[in-house]
Chains A and B, each alone.
Chain A
Amino acid sequence: MKNILPFFLSLILLTCLASSAKAQNSGLAKDQNPRFEESRTKYMETADSINQYHSTTIQDTYKAIDYLVDRAEAREQRRAFRRELRLERARNGWYDYNYYGDPYLNSGYFGNGYYNNGFYNNRYNNGFYYGPSRYGRGSYYPGRYYNNTFLNSLPLALSLAWLLN
């Protein structure tokens, strides 16, 4: 009798499982994939974030090769660079900026590191004095003209002398 009881219990369990599986399958439409629930669960989580962009245009544009557009952009970049240069001069006084070497000017167009290494730095930055500036930040100064008050004020003095005569 003891040997028969587990057999009956497992038979009842199997019957229950089979009937529940049959009930689940009966919820399927004709030819529907029985594993549809896996996909449903996955997409139920992402539906809201995707569907909010319905009726919109997703801008995935590219930059075309266009001679005139490229030329106009290069001109605009040169202007922006010169504007930045003038601003830097207005802030720090006029000194001989090396064209590509100044770390503050390199924040814009030339800030991609292309000119900020190797050849250009070696060529243009040699002989420049690097040290703390009057304004509390590092700057490149050409050694020859470093803070020469006499030479800096000479053009002004000559102009004044010419006007007063």
Chain B
Amino acid sequence: MKKLMFAVALGAAVSVIGTSCSHKVTRIDPSEQVDLSGRWNNTDSRLVADEMIETILREKWLTEHQQANNNQRPVVIVGFVTNKSHEHIEAETFVKDVEQSFIKSGRVRLVQGGKKREELRAEKADQQTNASVSSMKKFGLEQGADYILQGSINSIVDSQNRKKVVYYQVNLELTNIQTNEVVWIGDKKIAKYIKN
């Protein structure tokens, strides 16, 4: 009887330990390529960011702007990125990398837009009645942007039974706000062959 009880207890202990060990989480390097489903993932986002950063700061629009404006750095605002692909993709993951490269390089100035700009204006409005006169920030002194960065994500899916080829094309473009002239277009094309 004692043996039987011992065997039952041992079995229960083993099953509990086995269950607790089935779930495992490990930290990986964000630059490591891990493809699970074949859908858009962090590797794709990183590839797009790398390509865009590489080209946007190297192309002639930057020098042309500085030559035309007494060596002044261009001011950029980020506009919409339209995801017209078949998957939910957040462009912020790679657009933020591009923005970061602007600031790090020191060659392009960046101004806030969208909800964050609304928040800034709301804070400024709050300061008008709550902050001391010497520290209060004034309305009407924001930096106007010279260029707007917009983008689009498109995809093509070709599938046959368990095989699939997915093609993504990500475009970012920089447009002169005054003249509507597109001064730079960057693109990254990613094709994946998925076999289930």
Residues of A within 8 A of B (CB): 51-68
Contacts and interface: CB of A to CB of B under 8 A. Distances in A.
Contacts of A58: 80-83
Given A64-B157, A65-B159, A67-B159, A55 B114 contact: yes
A91 B162 CA distance: 41
B92 A55 contact: yes
21 contacts: A52-B114, A52-B115, A53-B80, A54-B77, A54-B117, A55-B95, A55-B115, A56-B80, A56-B81, A56-B92, A57-B82, A57-B83, A57-B90, A57-B153, A60-B82, A61-B87, A64-B86, A65-B159, A66-B159, A67-B161, A68-B162
B86 A63 contact: yes
Contacts of B83: 57-61
B151 to A, nearest CB: 9
A54 B113 contact: yes
B91 interface: yes
Contacts of A52: 114-115, 118
Contact of A51 (B113, B160, B196): B113
Bin the interface of chain B by size: 20 to 34
B86 A51 contact: no
A57 B117 CA distance: 16
A55 B148 CA distance: 10
The SS class assigned to the B binding surface is: mixed
Closest 7 CB pairs of A and B: A54-B113, A54-B114, A64-B157, A64-B86, A57-B91, A55-B114, A55-B78
B116 interface: yes
Given A54-B77, A54-B78, 11 more contacts: A52-B115, A52-B118, A54-B114, A56-B92, A57-B90, A61-B83, A61-B85, A66-B159, A66-B164, A68-B159, A68-B196
A62 B86 contact: yes
A114 B88 CA distance: 29
B115 A62 contact: no
A38 B39 CA distance: 47
Contacts of B78: 54-55
B118 to A, nearest CB: 6
Given A54-B78, A68-B162, A59 B88 contact: yes
Contacts of A60: 82-84
